[in-house]
Amino acid sequence: MKALSLLVLVSFLIAAAAECPFSHGNDGGNGGANAPPNEASPPKHDSSPDYSPPANNNTAPPPPASGTPPAAPGASSALAPAASPALTPAASPALAPAPASSVNKTNNGTLSLDYYANICPNLESLVQGAVRGMMASSPIAAAATLRLFFHDCFITGCDASLLIQNPNNDDEQHSSENMFLRADGYKTIAAAKAAVDADPQCANKVSCADIMALAARDAVALSGGPTWKVELGRYDAPGARASDVDLPLTTEDVPALMKRFSAHGLTVDDLVALSGGHTLGATSCVFVNSRIYPTADAFLDPGFASQLQGICPSNLDPNTFVFFDQSVTSFDNNYFLMVQQKKGVLFSDSALYFDSSSKGIVDKFAADQNAFFTQFVSSMVTLGRLGLKNAANGEIRAICTKPN
């Protein structure tokens, strides 16, 4: 009863937060007002990973004959591991700063721990202050900010392409997979960008991609999770297309998820650790109902399934949300305890405990929070190196929502 009450309370909190003046309805990408987005009026998003509604929300998959979880209907992004108020424009197109000595070279880009040491020495404190302020005003800002970083990096690399808003809505934000990302994350990045540009030494010299990487780290650390040194020196993408979006799905089992992760050089340890980002945030009942109606699937604890049915009505309400674990806004290992107990909210969560390649990792992280933190940091660093741009194919955007 206590767990149910907590989930209901938090679901109410998130549903209320969804009614923000910076969002419009999710009607497939065209916007509730049938108008293109702008910096002051981003598309509607939630604090869960990005999702597109299942094709049949009221049909539960049959239990499998083998020991693997059943395939679930629909398609939606699986990991966090989800636009903004107006950003300060530059007087002229921003020029990319010369990089400091490199410590990592990935793809066609270079990253360094001290990239901005002589360019914007107060960068980290400026970004952290903005993240802290947003978290104080929004209980879902941390989760939403962490989601953005994963989604951005997993599409065309860590290049802030997810922030771009095209006049014709043909951008990553308006893809079906990203329409449920919450405005709170975009607003956090906007606040951090504004804080950075307010410093004359830093104005228009820091990439939006680097601000996203720092903000994701701070969202975790300020929620009680680990901190780490963020490699910097990313360039921003000069454009974005909805057709580039191809994210892991909540309906996929571990082999299917690993096919996607392996394509980016990520391991099963990375998959499980980044899934642990679900310790922050919530998901819409859109992505839960297929598991609990008309009957709960075999990979949910019956009591927990009943709790979910008490939160998510059978006549689907996409504005009702369920948190991934009971610690709500704390970054910890409770998510893995839930998965162990057959209380994973999403199919892709449950799948981690019913595959031999990932089950032992779940057990390790459930038993040892420090082990989870250590792997999460390693996985976030690796994630942050994906698809880096350089001066030839990137830019330092003056306004994060628009190419220069």
Known binding-site positions for heme b? 278
Query: Cα torsion at 23, 28, 34, 35 (round to 10°)?
Result: 60
**224 to 26, 196, 236, 344: CA distances (angstroms):** 32, 24, 29, 22
Q: What residues does 395 pair with on adjacent strands? A: 236
Angle at 145 between CA 86 and CA 373, to 5 degrees: 155
> Annotated binding residues, as ranges?
152, 157, 159, 161, 172, 248, 278-279, 325, 332
Residues 334, 345: Cα–Cα separation, whole Å: 13
DSSP assignment of 265-293 equals T--HHHHHHHHGGGGS-EEEGGGTHHHHS
Residue 395 in tokens: 């830019």
- Amino acid identity of residue 99, one-letter, is P
Q: What share of the chain is helix, strand, coil (3-state, %, to 5)?
A: 40, 5, 50
49-73: string of b/e by CB count within 10 Å (b at 16+)?
A: bbbbbbeebeebbeeeeeeebbebb
Do strands 321-323 and 282-284 pair parallel, antiparallel, or not at all (unpaired)? antiparallel
Query: Is residue 24 flagged as an active site residue?
Result: no
Q: Which of 24, 151, 174, 264 is catalytic?
A: 151
* Whole-number Å distance between alpha carbons of 123 and 230: 12
Instruction: Show Cβ contacts of residue 329 under 8 Å, excluding neighbours closer than 6 positions.
Output: 139, 142, 143, 223, 280
Which tokens in the block code for residue 403?
A: 């190419």
Report the largest interatomic distance among the alpha carbons of the chain, rounded to a whole angstrom: 63
H/E element holding 252?
none
Q: From the annotation, which residues make up the binding site for substrate?
A: 248
Please state, in angstroms and rounded to a whole number, the distance separating the CA atoms of residues 34 and 210: 32
Residues designated as active site:
151
